[in-house]
Amino acid sequence: MSDKNIKIFNDDNELADAAAKEVVALSDEAIESRGIFSVALSGGSTPKQLYKMLAGNRYRRQIDWSKTHFFFGDERAVSPDREASNFRMIDEVMFTNIADLPKENIHRVQAEQPPADAAALYEQEIKDFFRSETIEFPIFDLILLGMGTDGHTASLFPGSEAVNENLRFFVENYVEKLGAYRLTLTFPVINNARTILFLVSGADKAAVVGEVLSSGEREIKYPAQMVNPTDGKLMWFLDKPASSLISD
């Protein structure tokens, strides 16, 4: 992985705080240059602390929420009231605690619809937001990503069909190991972002982080290794336990 931009923090609280500072800085740049800040959020447990901080007293007032638009990098194919819903988690810890965030700036995946319909509806929402049916691929200012112990990112799981999708922006993706559909951005969109920020913490991720981030040419074994921004910046924020097996 060329020019790796890896930052290692003592624990996930320090990691979340650094990520919040990064989000504020990116929002300032985006809003100053383009009048808007578009973010695709990741689900799972790792980013929860970051989302809480962004809605907390230290950072909430540092972002112009009227110009900030939240999308979802992926979603589970469940209704928003289910515990597995990424929207539900993020709504509970962040959206409901930011009074200045207009509801229309939250672009929820209609994951209660049949997976193919949910994906098509969301792709259209992305096209409408970036205001063109003909753009090659949308350019998000920031895409937050996590990584599973199997090296999946967003809902691009090893061996799943969506990993090879190179035309559509957002797709339904059947995940064998889960026995369920997921809904996810595709690599052409992820790699078109201005900034991609991986947040990975915990000793259970050390082995896959070591394989993905250690130096030297490596075969592509994991979807996370396919994250390689065309023109944008790729950053990895790790806690010490997750980074313990990275070799130079």
Residues that bind ligand 6PG (CB under 6 A): 42-46, 74, 86, 146-148, 152-155
- Do the Cβ atoms of 185 and 155 come closer than 8 Å? no
Output the smallest distance, CB 51 to ligand 6PG, in A. 12
Instruction: Identify which of residues 73 and 232 has a Cβ nearer to ligand 6PG in the complex.
Output: 73
- Closer to ligand 6PG at the Cβ: 86 or 186? 86
CB of 148 to ligand 6PG, least distance (A): 4
**Sheet architecture: strand order including 74-76:** 74-76, 180-185, 170-175
> Closest separation between CB of residue 225 and ligand 6PG, Å?
14
Specify the residue, 28 or 112, whose C-beta has the smaller distance to ligand 6PG: 112
Query: Shortest approach of ligand 6PG to residue 209 CB, angstroms?
Result: 12
- Closest to ligand 6PG by CB, 43 vs 232, is 43
